[in-house]
Amino acid sequence: MTEPVKGLRERKRLETHRALATTAVRLVADRGLDNVTVEDISAAAGVSPRTFFNYFASKEDAVVIANADYAERSQRTIEKFLATPKEIGTARAFVDAVKEEFAQVDENREEWLGRMKAIQENATLHSRAVAMNHETIGPTIEAIALRAGVDPKAELYPALLLATLGGAVNAALILWYQHDGRVSALELLDQAVEMLLAGLPEPGGRAH
């Protein structure tokens, strides 16, 4: 059966975005952000600069935004989180929901090593990544509050949980990068969350 035209176009859009993103990451990781232009990325990906700007506003966005449907992916993560059985704690439910997206790190090791290298070496890329993630904070806090049955404007829990688990994600990603991706990012995330849920005990059993 022939795939609908809309489906084919959407698939082509996602594939072109991915090609540009992976090319941008590779070039910037190799040469440095200042030594790569939109024209360089476009030529290496086999498209025109005009096509590039149909997908990205800047070369910085091409490095940071791994998937064209990142907003939809974020919404799906929230929906998965809210659909998790109530007997599972809110923190664990949230981490389980984000694992599918976080698995990209292990699945696309070289790309993410390059992205991490580029972001760590360029403050502008770090700022852009933070700004992009900021867009999802409000809806995610609302979802946590809804599942926990609290008012996000009156209770610390939703925002604090997101900040804490976001820190676990970042810590796992940084350690994964420091190990050159030779360890599982998902396993590191699980370790980070277990440590948090245990009250973040000090290594070696030392008292706080």
Domains of the chain (ranges; CATH) run: 1-65 (1.10.10.60), 69-200 (1.10.357.10)
Half-sphere exposure of 102 (CA within 13 A, CB side): 22
- b/e string for 79-116 if b means 16 or more Cβ within 10 A? ebbeebeeeeebbebbbebbeebbeebbebeebbbbbb
Percent of the chain exceeding pLDDT 90 equals 86
Question: For residue 5, is pLDDT > 60?
Answer: no
**Quick one: the chain helix, strand, coil %, rounded to 5?**
75, 0, 25
Q: Which tens digits make up the pLDDT trace of 142-184?
A: 999 999 999 999 999 999 999 999 999 999 999 999 999 999 9
